[in-house]
Amino acid sequence: MDYRKYGDTYYIRVDKNEEIIKTIIDICKKEKITSAVFGGIGGCKEAEIQTFIPESGTFETETVSGMLELISLKGNVITDNDNNYFHHTHALFTYKSGGEHRSAGGHIKSITVLYTAEIDLKPVSCGEIKRKYDPETGTGFWDFL
């Protein structure tokens, strides 16, 4: 992994066998970024995709593997009042299976890089977004400060 800051944006190269979400959160911790948005593309080998089941308040996880083209990555990183980091990430992948092109996407738990991923990370400026727990859904939402 390597990254640079140009202007207000961090440009991150995630390398082979590295996990994208962990890399983003590690950079946020190192750079003291408490709220940010990010996007990216790349070539990946494994993704844990989750679907939230409202009736049970749980996530179902499916792992997709192979040569996965990460065609769209969009997410955010925020902290709670105890400075614990959280991400909310969605992605879409294309891949071949049985000679056919397929796609898979949704809420992301983790993504492992096959050869590279290119991420742009934009910290929130002139304010801060924290995580506010919602007991009704059992999840967290943005809390604007």
Q: What is the pLDDT of residue 145?
A: 86
The beta-carbon contacts of 24-31 under 8 Å, at least 24 apart in sequence, are: 24/75, 24/77, 24/87, 24/119, 24/121, 25/77, 25/85, 25/87, 27/3, 27/121, 28/77, 28/85, 28/121, 29/85, 31/5, 31/123
Structural domain contains residue 140: no
pTM: 0.93
Structural domain contains residue 145: no
- Number of domains making up the chain: 1
Structural domain contains residue 137: no
pLDDT tens across 118-143, in order? Answer: 999 999 999 999 999 888 877 889 99
DSSP secondary-structure letter at 125? -
Structural domain contains residue 81: yes
Structural domain contains residue 141: no
3 state SS of 29: helix
Q: What is the pLDDT of residue 80?
A: 93
Q: What is the pLDDT of residue 120?
A: 98
The count of residues in the chain is 145
Which residues in the chain come in under a pLDDT of 50?
none
Q: How many CA atoms lie within 13 A of 50 on its CB side?
A: 14
* Residue 98 domain boundaries: 2-132
The label of the residue with tokens 């983003």 reads 24
Structural domain contains residue 44: yes
The label of the residue with tokens 């980091």 reads 85
CATH number of the domain within which 36 lies: 3.30.1330.80
